[in-house]
Amino acid sequence: MTRPLFRRLPDVELDEVASSIRTLHLRGNDARYRGEVDVEHGRGVIAALCIRAFRLPPAGRGPIEVEIAIEGDTERWTRQIGGRALHSLLWEDGGVLCERIGGVTLRFALRAEAGAMAWRAVGARWICLPLPARAFARVVAREYEEAGRYHFDASATLPWIGLLLRYRGWLDVG
């Protein structure tokens, strides 16, 4: 059997993060989690066009369901938010975590810090074209534990535009 995706990332020390984060990333196939999320959209025409083009979740607070399915060396994440599904595919490439959402592939550097896990996009591609750093969204995320519960906070900001999307909340990973 293939080692779990987050165990294959050389810079990620899962033993240094809170137990709820380890549980989420190591549970195995067909894991399903429920919780609550607060989604915030950026303002302006470009942000609205990006949100529509990528079918990003609607703004507001409500339930979230996350399903993680292992498919060979990849993980398929489906986030159900506000009646809309956001699908992404994650895999390891050269020690970096890659995530494809629609036609965009982001490359993330991950690191454990004070029991949390920090994600920072270090590269992006649109279909097969690499995007220069100043042209793609600044994407950061943080997974952390609060009162024994798994929490997340992820955001994407566009150069010269500002906030595109921020979603934060919690999941019951029991």
3-class SS at 39? strand
User: What is the rounded CA–CA span in Å between residue 169 and residue 150?
Assistant: 9
As a whole number, mean pLDDT of residues 125-133 equals 75
Closest CA to 77 of 62, 53, 97: 97
In tens, the pLDDT along 16-45 reads 999 999 999 988 777 899 999 999 999 888
- Is it the case that residue 160 has pLDDT exceeding 80? no
CA distance 131 to 72: 28
d(CA 41, CA 147): 28
CA 58 – CA 135 distance, rounded (Å): 24
> pLDDT band at 136, cuts 50/70/90?
low
Q: What is the C-alpha to C-alpha distance for residues 83 and 79, in angstroms, rounded to an integer?
A: 10
pLDDT surpassing 90 at residue 12: no
CA separation for the pair 174, 165 (Å, rounded): 28
The residue with tokens 């649109």 is 126
In tens, the pLDDT along 59-104 reads: 999 999 999 999 889 999 999 998 889 999 999 999 899 999 988 8
What 3 state SS string does 102-159 have? Answer: CCEEEEEEEEEECEEEEEEEEEEEECCEECCHHHCCEEEEEEEEECCEEEEEEEEEEC
